[in-house]
Amino acid sequence: MISKLVENALNDQIRKEAQSSQFYLAMASWAETQGFNGIAMFLYTHSDEERLHMLKLVKFVNERGGVAIIPALEAPPVEFNSITYVFEELLNHEVMVTESINNVVDVCLKEKDYTTHNFMQWYVSEQIEEEALARTINDKLKMIGTDKGGLYLFDRDLETMAAAPPKV
């Protein structure tokens, strides 16, 4: 059984994962309209992964005697300034999600809820990977700058990454 404080922290995380999924979906759709099909594919996959992160939390909360709350979501932007901007935003967003996961872990320790603490370790590792990937992508984009040929190859690279089997 989870305490009310842990339940609230997990429900807050459910909302953040759902919001991430929605945000990356908007990025994917925008990239598709700009002709970046590889980037779009990568972002659609990323959006799906965030939904799975949310779902895993929903099931855990319910299994542990809490009540998962499926949240209303803010509408994400329709337009993005550039591909560089999209990935800068993605990294900022992941950093925010990491902070939020650290907060859940902190609540678990305060509440002496070692079961949820253990469950959350998967998210801790996942965030290390996601932040590292987002930083690598941002570094590549810095090197590419405004070079159209570079961006074309980058788009193809992300298509290959998106085709890799999902981790979840």
Specify the residue for token string 């929605």.
22
- In total, the chain counts a number of residues equal to 168
Between CA 68 and CA 14 the distance in angstroms is 8
Between CA 103 and CA 114 the distance in angstroms is 15
- Residue pair 6/116 in contact by the 8 Å Cβ criterion: yes
Residues that bind ligand FEO (rule: CB under 6 A) add up to a total of: 7
The yes or no reply on residue 97 touching ligand FEO (CB under 6 A) is yes
The yes or no reply on residue 89 touching ligand FEO (CB under 6 A) is no
The yes or no reply on residue 19 touching ligand FEO (CB under 6 A) is no
**Helix (H) / strand (E) containing 35:** none
Between CA 29 and CA 41 the distance in angstroms is 9
- CA distance readout (Å), 64 to 2, 16, 68, 113: 6, 20, 10, 11
**Binding track over 35-54 against ligand FEO, x by CB under 6 A:** ---------------x--x-
Nearer to ligand FEO, 7 or 50 (CB): 50
Among 9, 18, 19, 20, binds ligand FEO (CB under 6 A): 20
In the bound state, the residue with its beta carbon closest to ligand FEO is 53
The yes or no reply on residue 13 touching ligand FEO (CB under 6 A) is no
Nearer to ligand FEO, 163 or 168 (CB): 168
* 100-129: contacts with ligand FEO (CB under 6 A): none
Contact residues: ligand FEO, CB under 6 A: 17, 20, 50, 53, 94, 97, 130
